[in-house]
Amino acid sequence: MVDKQPFTFYLNHMVEQQTITLDRVFHALADPTRRAMLKNLASGERKIGELASPFSMSFAAASKHVRVLEQAGLIHRRVEGRAHFCQLNPDPLAAADEWLRFYESFWSKRLDALEAALNAEDREHDIK
């Protein structure tokens, strides 16, 4: 008989790691400043000061936001002398999108049911 305990442990560990990653991504995305920074990075690499400038925030405040984005794996930081350059890493966004798509079918079914009910109500009104 094959011992399934190591595989089960491995599988549970992988699920736990994925949960931690998604938690960090959604935490990072929960802040509008960080979402704006990511949008800014979508067009290319930026210095932290450039990411801070639309918000009139200090380098230290922007750096805290960048640290959260880094911990979520959403950006990579490169340091050259005193300059810190940030670059978008879309891979964690793909994982979050995959997670959301799983639930999309539930939303779609409910919206389809709502649309059918509204259409039936409209037809009933048209008959009267």
Contact between 46 and 64 under an 8 Å Cβ cutoff? The reply is no
pLDDT tens for the chain, 128 residues: list them: 455 666 565 445 455 556 678 899 999 999 999 999 999 999 999 999 999 999 989 989 999 999 999 999 999 999 999 999 999 999 998 888 888 888 787 777 777 777 778 888 777 777 76
How far apart, in whole angstroms, are the C-alpha atoms of residue 128 and residue 122?
A: 10
Q: What is the CATH number of domain 5-127?
A: 1.10.10.10
pLDDT value for 128: 64
CA angle centred on 30, ends 51 and 57, rounded to 5°: 30
Query: Strands (DSSP E) along 2-126, which ranges?
Result: 46-47, 75-80, 83-88
Task: Please tell me the pTM assigned to this model.
Answer: 0.68
Question: In the chain, what are the domain boundaries?
Answer: 5-127
pLDDT value for 13: 41
How far apart, in whole angstroms, are the C-alpha atoms of residue 25 and residue 118?
A: 37
pLDDT value for 17: 59
